[in-house]
Amino acid sequence: MGVRVRFAPSPSGSLHIGNVRTALFNWLFARKNNGIFILRIEDTDIERTYESAYSGILEDLAWLGLNWDEGPYKQSDRLDIYKSYAERFLKEGLAYKCFCSPEELEREREQALKEGKPPRYSGKCANLTEEEISRLESEGRSCSIRFRIPEDACFVVEDMIRGKIEFDVNAITGDFIILRSDGMPTYNFAVVIDDHLMKITHVIRGEDHLSNTPRQLLIYRALEAEPPVFAHLPMIVGSDHSKLSKREGSFSVKELREQGLLPEGVVNYLALLGWSPKEEEVKTLEELIEEFSLEDVSPSPSAYDPAKLRWINRQHILRLDGEKLLSYARPFLKEFENFPKEWLIKAILSIREYAETLKDIPEEIKKYYLNDISLDDKYREELLSGKKAIEVFLDLLKNAEDISDIDSLFKEAIKVSGLKGRRFYHPIRIALTGYESGPELVELIPILGKRKCIERLENSLRFLEAEK
Ligand code: GLU
């Protein structure tokens, strides 16, 4: 059967980088194997679920370019399905009704903790007779449905990333709830029913779910179904290998987007958390599909490094074409709304090597093209020695009909002024920008425009005439 994988987030806020990495690895695995990528929203935990988070997930995935082939399915639309399976388990004796109240369960839990035992369900309702059940029901007592853990509940799993893992469910938990008294399925139950019905072949998810796997294996066994292949991805940790903390930066897709990261940069960086390509690390989604392999994912934790994320992002800023870069940068260019598109594209391309994120773009444009320049006294000597270059170039510029061919103007000015190389270009650059480095002059001058260039060059000459 062809590969079928799913990304199954709970809608509890904008996607976190951990979720996105899971989504990405599933997506890459599906695309690489010509498989199907399914989106399923696990929204049965009503308290944590809200509508805006649901639409946020869809937006985040669309922004990242991770398109899905099936879904989004919502677990809340499938409650009847879980209920019918819970009933089937009841009939088959694989599960039972539990009438214990939350207070009773809490008392048992406290008692166990006091005795230094792991808290687990006592099995009090495991062997109720038909009569007892009818009596409790006629009293109007609500019940949940618990899965009955058989004596032999040992499993060996060959995890694609972590290798062979052995589990003994009895060592981990007592009989666990699969359907709550309000009719809502628990995660471990719904996830297996769905993965089974959706014919999921590979479950690729965070290592934090490893402890859920044994309970899920039991449910597969109860369904007489072959479990999927599991691949548990390493955790993403902070730079000091502790849990990620706010100190390390932003973790939600929304925050990363607002900080001016490109989707290309985010997916490229996240692909490197756990997986490493053979050579070059900077990759497009297409290149990632080509090279990605789940077998090469390391089981050790991966450290989140915001500086590297920005570095990767910058590499993508350098690679994109102008139109695309402008469309990404638009939300950060509100104050440039009335600028002609062609001008903006040229300006962005000329300064992009100074931008790590899209947020840097408006600042760099202002720095070179819009802000008034104040010439620093430390440049006086240099400007003075290049005064001739400035004067000659200014003169030529004033008389030029067309400033698209700056190279010819420079050639002419070099000839007339007798200055060349750095002694020619450097003073002109300082006069035009106020800085020693920046965009190529042949790009900068047409973007700045003839009038502004003349103004700045004249200004530098006035600066030289003024008293120190
Ligand atoms: N809803 C779970 C989560 O958000 C999915 C876990 C799984 O993939 O099985 O973590």
pLDDT digits (tens, 9 = 90+) for 93-151: 999 999 999 999 999 899 988 988 888 899 999 999 999 999 999 999 999 999 999 99
Q: 9: Cβ below 6 Å to ligand 1?
A: yes
* Model confidence, pTM: 0.92
**Domain CATH code at residue 431:** 1.10.10.350
- Structural domain contains residue 44: yes
54 Cα–ligand 1 center, Å: 15
Count the helix, strand and coil residues of the chain and give each as a percent rounded to the nearest 5.
55, 10, 35
CA 87, CA 95: separation in Å to the nearest integer? 8
- Structural domain contains residue 289: yes
Q: 215: Cβ below 6 Å to ligand 1?
A: no
Q: 42: Cβ below 6 Å to ligand 1?
A: yes
Q: 10: Cβ below 6 Å to ligand 1?
A: yes
Residue 381 and residue 343 share a domain? no
Question: Any idea what the Cα angle at residue 283 is, between residues 277 and 286, rounded to 5°?
Answer: 105
Residue 450 and residue 398 share a domain? yes
Residue 468 reports pLDDT greater than 70: no
> In this structure, what DSSP letter does residue 178 have?
E
Residue 249 pLDDT class (50, 70, 90 cuts): low
Residue 436 and residue 387 share a domain? yes
- Structural domain contains residue 310: yes
Residue 393 and residue 310 share a domain? no
Q: Is the torsion defined by CA of 448, 451, 452, 455 positive or negative? A: positive
Q: What pLDDT does 405 receive?
A: 85
174 Cα–ligand 1 center, Å: 22
Q: What pLDDT does 262 receive?
A: 98
Residue 173 and residue 85 share a domain? yes
Residue 6 CA, closest ligand 1 atom number: 8
Residue 141 and residue 101 share a domain? yes
Average pLDDT over residues 303-327: 96
User: Considering just the CA atoms, what is the radius of gyration of the chain in Å?
Assistant: 32
- Structural domain contains residue 45: yes
Q: What pLDDT does 467 receive?
A: 63
Residue 201 vs residues 37, 177, 196, 337, 352: alpha-carbon distances, Å = 11, 25, 9, 49, 43
411 Cα–ligand 1 center, Å: 65
Residue 340 and residue 301 share a domain? no
Question: For atom 5 of ligand 1, which residue has the closest CA?
Answer: 8
End-to-end CA distance of the chain: 81
299 Cα–ligand 1 center, Å: 19
Average pLDDT over residues 368-379: 93
Q: What pLDDT does 404 receive?
A: 81
Residue 191 CA, closest ligand 1 atom number: 9
**Which domain does 11 fall in, by range?**
1-70+234-319
- Structural domain contains residue 169: yes
Any idea which residue has 């938990």 for tokens?
A: 173
Residue 403 and residue 353 share a domain? no
- Among 259, 250, 286, which Cα is nearest to 271's? 286
Q: What pLDDT does 48 receive?
A: 59
Q: State the total domains in the chain.
A: 4
- Among 373, 370, 414, 377, which Cα is nearest to 392's? 414
Q: What pLDDT does 1 receive?
A: 77
**What is the residue-wise DSSP string for 237-299?**
E-TTSSB--GGG---BHHHHHHTT--HHHHHHHHHTTT---SS-----HHHHHHH--GGG--S
Question: For atom 3 of ligand 1, which residue has the closest CA?
Answer: 9
Residue 255 and residue 310 share a domain? yes
Residue 175 and residue 84 share a domain? yes
- Structural domain contains residue 75: no
Residue 195 CA, closest ligand 1 atom number: 9
Q: 209: Cβ below 6 Å to ligand 1?
A: yes
**Domain CATH code at residue 293:** 3.40.50.620
Q: What pLDDT does 246 receive?
A: 64
Q: What pLDDT does 46 receive?
A: 62
Residue 413 and residue 356 share a domain? no
Q: 8: Cβ below 6 Å to ligand 1?
A: yes
Rounded to the nearest integer, the mean pLDDT of the chain is 94
Average pLDDT over residues 437-443: 95
- Structural domain contains residue 191: no
Residues designated as active site: 246
205 Cα–ligand 1 center, Å: 7
Query: pLDDT tens, 65-91?
Result: 999 999 999 999 999 999 999 999 999
- Structural domain contains residue 333: yes
